[in-house]
């Protein structure tokens, strides 16, 4: 093996791979801007539909633009019988992310514009995927629960309709608001692993649905989107006891974390490749979780949350990422744990597809180098 002085950046850590105007993650100021707007302001005053349009077009929509998009989004919410049949053919034992991945691929195969990567066609395809994915997620959760599917409602906004299709009843406005906040916070985050995957696929001049299908695969892992499920699995491993005092829950969670860290376990929902002093989205999502804890009357969850966070902070000074408050929020709302990452998919379709369009507009094949560290050249005997 030949030794080399080439610097290898494992995991592309610290590598700036391209420009983007979609979002700016600034770990120094702990801020996140979507097209220049602080994500906290968007979460406080916009609908997911407005944020989606902002990410795709670069500007917040006018009232007319929003009305026109809203009408189209609502018209594309329902699943085709063919897609339902394909989902039904998948085992209920498969992960719901596999269902999302399959559905994204099927929606591409069904789209007459699948091979058209013009800006207009890509925007139309992105919007149709955005409209249909909530129905995929809800249809799948209901079939696993042995429940009849619930058809979308054209009189409800994106987030209210999402919850309607999931649970078959109109959600409380406070729950709709918290869900909308989570969707906005999950929508976009520069060159994270799944978005970069989407850009790699796009860079070969492949199509938008292929990029999204691949991105779903990348999001599934627990080092990325899958962490919101893993967070709740930690809570469940700890044991959620509705009658426990927050102080007792906190003490128990602290002890659990100390033991887990002593055993060198990696605890999902903590740490981030870019943010080293805290994830810019956590305070907004934590405030939404607090509202849901009050709404559902489950203060013991706050005890568990605080206990884990404090023990991790004291032992390693590692802060929670967005998945940490998002997991228990979705649990309180009534989603099954394996549905949490599909909720992330539904939101991130906006960011992924905005990046697909940006990549197409200024493409260069993404193909890094590797430093060979295998055997020196050798020869097949007798060759
Ligand atoms: C929406 C999102 O996708 S946010 C990310 C969601 N992912 C998770 O929550 C998974 C848990 N977190 C992690 O695995 C990591 O923090 C990552 C992958 C997100 C970022 O990691 P990197 O920047 O590559 O840092 P790396 O994993 O090398 O960690 C640096 C050190 O902190 C430790 N560390 C980082 N995160 C954690 C964690 N969650 N639990 C325990 N230790 C941790 C590592 O063990 C390592 O310690 P060492 O130097 O003693 O070996
Ligand atoms: O940026 C990252 O690496 C992961 C993340 O937080 C996200 O995709 O939202």
Domains along the sequence of the chain with CATH: 18-224+340-361 (1.10.580.10), 227-333 (1.10.230.10)
Q: What is the pLDDT of residue 41?
A: 98
Provide residues with CB under 6 Å of ligand 1: 11, 223-225, 227, 266-273, 316, 318, 321-323
Q: What is the pLDDT of residue 295?
A: 98
Q: What is the pLDDT of residues 289-309, one digit of tens each?
A: 999 999 999 999 999 999 999
Ligand 1 centre and the CA of 25: distance in Å? Answer: 18
158: phi then psi, degrees, rounded to nearest 5: -50, -55
**224 in catalytic set:** no
Ligand nearest the Cα of residue 225 is 1
pTM listed for this prediction = 0.97
Q: What is the pLDDT of residues 323-345, one digit of tens each?
A: 999 999 999 999 999 999 999 99
Query: 232 pLDDT band (50/70/90 cuts)?
Result: very high
* Mean per-residue pLDDT, 37-59: 98
Among the atoms of ligand 2, which is closest to the Cα of residue 188? Answer: 9
Ligand 1 centre and the CA of 272: distance in Å? Answer: 6
What mean pLDDT value characterizes the chain? 97
Among protein residues, the one with the nearest Cα to ligand 2's atom 4 is 192
**95 in catalytic set:** no
Catalytic residue among 209, 272, 279, 355: 272
Q: What is the pLDDT of residue 3?
A: 56
Rounded to 10°, the helix 96-110/208-220 angle is 180
Q: Is 150 in the pocket of ligand 2 (CB under 6 A)?
A: no
* Mean per-residue pLDDT, 249-256: 97
Ligand 1 centre and the CA of 16: distance in Å? Answer: 20
Residue 4 predicted with pLDDT over 70: no
Residue 267 predicted with pLDDT over 70: yes
Residue 190 predicted with pLDDT over 90: yes
Q: What is the pLDDT of residue 5?
A: 75
- Ligand 2: which of 26, 31, 189 to mutate, judged by most atoms within 8 Å of the beta carbon? 189
Among protein residues, the one with the nearest Cα to ligand 2's atom 7 is 189
Ligand 1 centre and the CA of 13: distance in Å? Answer: 12
Among the atoms of ligand 1, which is closest to the Cα of residue 322? Answer: 1
């Amino acid at each position: 093996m030949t030794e080399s002085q080439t610097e290898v950046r494992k995991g592309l850590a610290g590598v700036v791979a391209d420009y983007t105007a979609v979002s700016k993650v600034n770990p120094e100021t702990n801020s996140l801007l979507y097209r220049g707007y602080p994500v906290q302001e968007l979460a406080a005053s916009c609908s997911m539909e407005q944020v989606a349009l902002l990410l795709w077009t670069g500007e917040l929509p006018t009232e007319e633009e929003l009305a026109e998009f809203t009408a189209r989004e609502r018209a594309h919410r329902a699943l085709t019988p063919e897609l339902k049949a394909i989902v039904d053919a998948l085992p209920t034992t498969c992960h719901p992310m596999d269902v999302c991945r399959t559905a994204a691929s099927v929606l591409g195969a069904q789209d007459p514009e699948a091979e058209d990567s013009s800006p207009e066609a890509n925007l139309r395809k992105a919007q149709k995927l955005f409209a249909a994915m909530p129905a995929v997620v809800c249809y799948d959760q209901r079939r696993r629960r042995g429940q009849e599917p619930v058809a979308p409602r054209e009189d409800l906004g994106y987030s209210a309709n999402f919850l309607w299709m999931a649970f078959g009843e109109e959600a409380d406005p406070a729950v709709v608001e918290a869900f909308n906040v989570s969707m906005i916070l999950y929508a976009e985050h520069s060159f994270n692993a799944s978005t970069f995957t989407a850009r790699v696929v796009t860079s070969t001049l492949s199509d938008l649905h292929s990029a999204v299908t691949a991105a779903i695969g990348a999001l599934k892992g627990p080092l990325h989107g899958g962490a919101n499920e893993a967070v709740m699995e930690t809570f469940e491993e700890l044991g959620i006891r509705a009658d426990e005092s927050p102080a007792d829950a906190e003490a128990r969670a602290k002890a659990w974390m100390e033991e887990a860290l002593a055993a060198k376990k990696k605890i999902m929902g903590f740490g981030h490749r870019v943010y080293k002093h805290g994830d810019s989205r956590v305070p907004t999502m934590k405030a939404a979780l607090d509202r849901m804890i009050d709404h559902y009357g489950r203060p013991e969850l706050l005890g568990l949350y605080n206990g884990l966070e404090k023990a991790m902070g004291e032992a390693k000074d590692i802060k929670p990422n967005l998945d940490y408050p998002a997991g228990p929020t979705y649990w309180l709302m009534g989603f099954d744990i394996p549905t949490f990452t599909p909720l992330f998919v539904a939101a991130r379709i906006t960011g992924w597809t905005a990046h697909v369009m940006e990549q197409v507009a200024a493409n260069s094949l993404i193909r890094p180098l590797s430093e060979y560290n295998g055997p020196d050249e050798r020869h097949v005997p007798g060759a």
